[in-house]
Each structure stands twice: as structure tokens, then as C-alpha cells.
Amino acid sequence: MLDAARPAPIVEMRGIEKAFGAVQALRNVDLVLYPGEILGLVGDNSAGKSTLMKILTGAYQRDAGQVFVAGQPVHFRSPHESRDVGIEMIYQDFALCGNMDVGQNIFLGRWPRRGFFINRRKMYAEADTVLKRLKVDVNSVFQKVESLSGGRQQSVAIARAISFEPRVVILDEPTANLSVMATERLLETMLELKKQGVAQIIISHRLIDIFAVGDRVMVLKRGENVGDRFVKDTDDREVLEIIVSGTRENAQTADEARAI
């Protein structure tokens, strides 16, 4: 019997299948994510991590399987539809407009208006509120994004995602091109989001980051889920062994670990 006291999953993916022509990218993949949880999604470059997340956000369509958000079945046809139920994905390139300032980027394409005109006072005030909520160190909401460091651009991308009041944030290799200091700031931001109840999935090759902030780590290998561990119950050596070997032997699932 499962622990009745634990919260219901915010996201549940069951039996997900996806092929691109003759290439089977995902095979019967399950994923569970709980409110406020940080899940590390790891595996080699052909494991299917990004494909699975693009199915969750509606960028790709699944061939088989089911997706549930807050217990309700969903089938997203586009990222706009997943955003409507509180799922945001932040890609490696951040998708920012460098020639615009911080406030404009946070509200890009949905600037608050007063009649026919953009309500700039409201836009910058709300942008500043979002940044303060995340405890993000950006000099000014009026600063051009192209003048910011990579770490601060990452913070702006996260602030834009948070401005949609998401329940789930997916980060694709968030620390890949960041300095040590910027990485530390980002991990602090992720922990701040966790305190606010936002669930997060980190696609990453950097196990050190997942072990710094994560609650659980899930391993994909050639499109299959081959391991699921609580961070507190494992170490980077064991996870690396699962990534390399791809064996399911003794790979206890998170649900089994929480069963009583």
C-alpha cells in the first residue's frame, strides 16, 4: 500500500512511446513528479530525455501512453496548451530578445496594456516583483538583455517562466554554459522555487548539480527508464553505473521506495 499522506502527483506519464521513422526514441516510459519536487532526468545523448519533455510540453506528440496533470488526463497539441495548465520549459538558448530590456523580455508578447498602449509602469513594476520573488540579482529591469552575463540571462528566462505562475518548470541543461558563481546562483533560485511549491525537472549531464538540489534522479537509456532513485539513498557512482550499464537489475522505482 502506498503512503496515503503523500501528495498526489502533479505530473504522471505512463507508458510513453515515441518513434521518429525507424528510430524508437521512447519505449514504455513512466515518469512521476510531485508538487515541490526537484527531479533530475539523466542519461546519455541518445537517451530520450529531451523527447520525453517535449512530449510533456506538447512540442512533440506521443505515439502511445497517457499523461496526467494534477490527476486529469491531457493531450497537449502545443506548448501553449501545456502553459495553460502551468507547465513551462526553459531551453538552453533561453529564447530571449537581446535588443530588448529585462522587463520587456519577461512580458514578451503579453505586455500589459492601457487601452491601445503598453502600460510600461505596470510592466516594469511586475517584472521587478517577479525578480524579487526569485531573489534574482539583476541591476535593473531597464537593462538590455544582451548586456547581461549568461547567468543573469538565465535568471531572466526563469523569471519569464515564473511570471506565468507555473506549477512545473523544466530546465534543459541549465548550468551547461554558466560560470561556477552563476551556477551557484541558479541552484539557489531552484531551491527558492521549491520553497514556493514549484515542481522542477532538470535535464542535465552534471550529476553534481542534481545531487546539490534534487530530491530524486531518473535514468533513461536508449529510450527506456532504467533507474529511479532518491538522491538521499544513492550517490553519483551508482547513478553513473546505471547510465553506463542501462540495467534494470535492482533499480528500485520511486513508487516502490515510497511503498509501505
pLDDT tens, position by position, 168-226: 999 998 888 788 888 888 898 899 999 999 999 999 999 999 999 999 999 999 999 99
Q: What is the Cα–Cα distance from 88 to 193, expressed in whole angstroms?
A: 13
Q: What average pLDDT does the segment 112-130 reach?
A: 87
pTM, entire model: 0.85
Q: What is the Cα–Cα distance from 194 to 196, expressed in whole angstroms?
A: 5
| CATH code for residues 11-86+166-256 | 3.40.50.300
- Exposure b/e, 5-32, CB count within 10 A at least 16 = b: eeeebbbbbeebbbeeeeeebbbebbbb
Residue type, 5: A
Contact 234, 249 (CB under 8 A): no
Q: Encode pLDDT of 194-204 as tens digits.
A: 999 999 999 99
CB contact set of 93 (below 8 Å; sequence gap of 6+): none
